[in-house]
């Protein structure tokens, strides 16, 4: 190809945003790729499918980066390492880092009672600290689960102010602060609100000033303005019910627990900072505080640090986090002793970004890793154990039917009998079948919801407590 034709091709690709792939080949020859790595992403390496962008970093150098599949099916733009994705809960580490940098500046403390900064939050018996929020030991119910239970869908819209008001209505906790680790997006949303209260600036602006600009992460931001134009944005997709794909995006401007848009290329700069910190006062001490694990009241450590999980994978230390929201899945894993990192950003809702990243690590680290064992999730997930059912006569099930209301959710549920089983109707969802598990106790199969009915002094059902993995002790009163 002549230099003139090559230059014209570069201009065309820049103008259209379309690249078949963006690849660094080291130490192989141009065009040869990494067949073992490419095979992992073969299902996405198509011009008619969303897919994933991959980055592999060894000793500070990008050894492989490539896009598999399409960033935008409507306009025919392919994925590359500069495609910008929503990264879900991988965002939490940036929120945590902002908190640590503000603490370094003396503007807040991890040991502050959150009500110092958010006096609107209710007093729930014991102080909840900023540190509790960082390590998911606050006991606060998860807002995404609460909103689902209140009948909200991913595509529904509410503001940060709406969500804060919603959280102030909560009158109970999953557990007392510091007693257990239970993943809660509410905590990281509130960290963003604390940043705003402590600085007078939004989390997006502070993160830009303290992290993204100093590290040259020019394509990275907290997406709190849904009207913002994002160059090279990857659209989010889900599998369509019939065939093909459908768009899966959100209009939510909620940030803190998620909301970061970024690219593989920008996350390379973030990975470099892990080993050579350039933020704040500089030096390794900030990174050490970032990786400091949470500790329960009884002295037991938890694996969750400040927006990051420090654990062992196949005998090797692995630091990372996963993210999942609407049509996006993300994972960033670092193996500090091997100075190796894997980044997988996907724009398809059923893409297992974490599993894909670990498979890349399996290939690259090879004999360093011990024999594979059952995978451990990076963050707690909803319990999927089956509920053991015993059948109740319809006459007994009628004791539980009727309408119930939760003042904390501001929603009503209807319980009815369908085909001999008790059902619970949540707004905008198909009715859940409740299987009897014990006296006055029911649950779904798989075990998402558990319901424990209460009775008054005359033995009549007067309400129930609802539990999920991330929401406990939610009371519904029976309406007469």
Residue positions annotated with a catalytic role: 89
Residues across the chain: 480
Cα dist. 407→76, 156, 221 in Å? 48, 21, 36
Coil, strand or helix at 225: coil
Tokens representing 41 are 């992403």
Quick one: which of 361, 302, 355 has its CA closest to 337? 361
Cα dist. 240→36, 69, 111, 244, 348 in Å? 30, 17, 47, 5, 11
Cβ atoms of residues 330 and 346 within 8 Å: yes
**What does the DSSP assignment read for 8-19?**
HHHHHHHHH---
- Rounded Cα–Cα distance for residues 305 and 301 (Å): 10
Burial 26-59 (b: 16+ CB within 10 A, else e): eeeeeeeebeebbebbeebbeeebbbbbbbbbee
Positive or negative: CA dihedral 232, 238, 240, 244: positive
Cβ atoms of residues 472 and 409 within 8 Å: no
Tell me 338's DSSP state.
G
Cβ atoms of residues 346 and 87 within 8 Å: no
Query: C-alpha angle with apex 339: 333 to 341, nearest 5 degrees?
Result: 25
Cβ atoms of residues 328 and 89 within 8 Å: no
Burial 212-250 (b: 16+ CB within 10 A, else e): beebebebbbbbbeeeeeeebbbbbbbeeeeeebeebbb
313 membership: H or E segment, kind and range: strand 309-313
Cβ atoms of residues 197 and 210 within 8 Å: no
Coil, strand or helix at 393: coil
Distance of CA 45 to the CA centre of its chain: 25
Tokens representing 88 are 């879900």
Burial class (CB in 10 A: 0-12, 13-18, 19+), 477: middle
State residue 203 phi and psi, 5-degree precision. Answer: -55, -40
């Amino acid at each position: 190809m002549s230099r003139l034709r090559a230059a014209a091709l570069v201009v065309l690709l820049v103008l259209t945003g379309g690249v078949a792939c963006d690849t660094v080949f080291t130490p192989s020859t141009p065009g040869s790729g990494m067949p073992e790595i490419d095979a992992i992403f073969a299902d996405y390496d198509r011009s008619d499918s969303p897919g994933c962008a991959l980055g592999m970093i060894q000793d500070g150098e990008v050894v492989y980066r490539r896009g598999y599949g399409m960033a935008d099916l409507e306009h025919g733009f392919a994925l590359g390492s500069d495609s910008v994705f929503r990264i879900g809960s991988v965002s939490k580490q940036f929120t945590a880092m902002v908190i640590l940098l503000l603490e370094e500046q003396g503007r807040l403390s991890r040991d502050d009672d959150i009500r110092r900064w958010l006096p609107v939050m209710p007093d729930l018996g014991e102080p909840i600290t900023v540190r509790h929020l960082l390590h998911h030991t606050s006991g606060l119910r998860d807002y995404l689960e609460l909103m689902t239970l209140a009948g909200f869908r991913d595509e529904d819209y509410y503001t940060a102010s709406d969500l804060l008001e919603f959280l102030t209505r909560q009158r109970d906790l999953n557990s007392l602060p510091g007693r257990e680790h239970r993943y809660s997006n509410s905590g990281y949303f509130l960290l963003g609100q604390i940043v705003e209260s402590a600085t007078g600036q939004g989390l997006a602006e502070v993160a830009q000033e303290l992290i993204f600009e100093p590290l040259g992460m020019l394509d990275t931001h907290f997406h709190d303005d849904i009207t913002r134009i994002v160059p090279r944005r990857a659209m989010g997709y889900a599998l369509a019910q019939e065939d093909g794909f459908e768009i899966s995006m959100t209009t939510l401007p909620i940030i803190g627990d998620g909301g970061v848009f970024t690219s593989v290329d920008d996350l390379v700069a973030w990975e470099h900072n892990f080993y050579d910190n350039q933020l704040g006062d500089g030096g390794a001490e900030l990174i050490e505080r970032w990786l400091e694990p949470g500790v329960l009241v009884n002295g037991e450590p938890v694996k969750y640090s400040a927006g990051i999980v420090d654990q062992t994978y196949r005998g090797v230390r692995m630091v990372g986090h996963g993210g999942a929201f609407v049509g996006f899945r993300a994972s960033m894993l670092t193996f500090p002793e091997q100075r190796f990192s894997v980044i997988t950003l996907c724009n398809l809702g059923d893409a297992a970004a974490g599993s894909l990243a670990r498979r890349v690590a399996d290939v690259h680290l090879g004999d360093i890793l011990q024999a594979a064992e059952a995978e451990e999730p990076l963050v707690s997930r909803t319990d999927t154990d089956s509920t053991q059912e015993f059948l109740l006569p319809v006459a007994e099930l009628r004791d539980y039917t009727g309408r119930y209301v939760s003042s904390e959710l501001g929603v009503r549920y209807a319980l009815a009998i369908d085909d001999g089983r008790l059902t619970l109707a949540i707004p905008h969802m198909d009715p859940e079948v409740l299987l009897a598990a014990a006296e006055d106790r029911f649950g779904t199969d798989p075990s998402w919801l558990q319901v424990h009915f209460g009775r008054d002094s005359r033995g009549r059902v007067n309400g129930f407590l609802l539990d999920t993995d991330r929401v406990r002790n939610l009371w519904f009163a029976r309406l007469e």
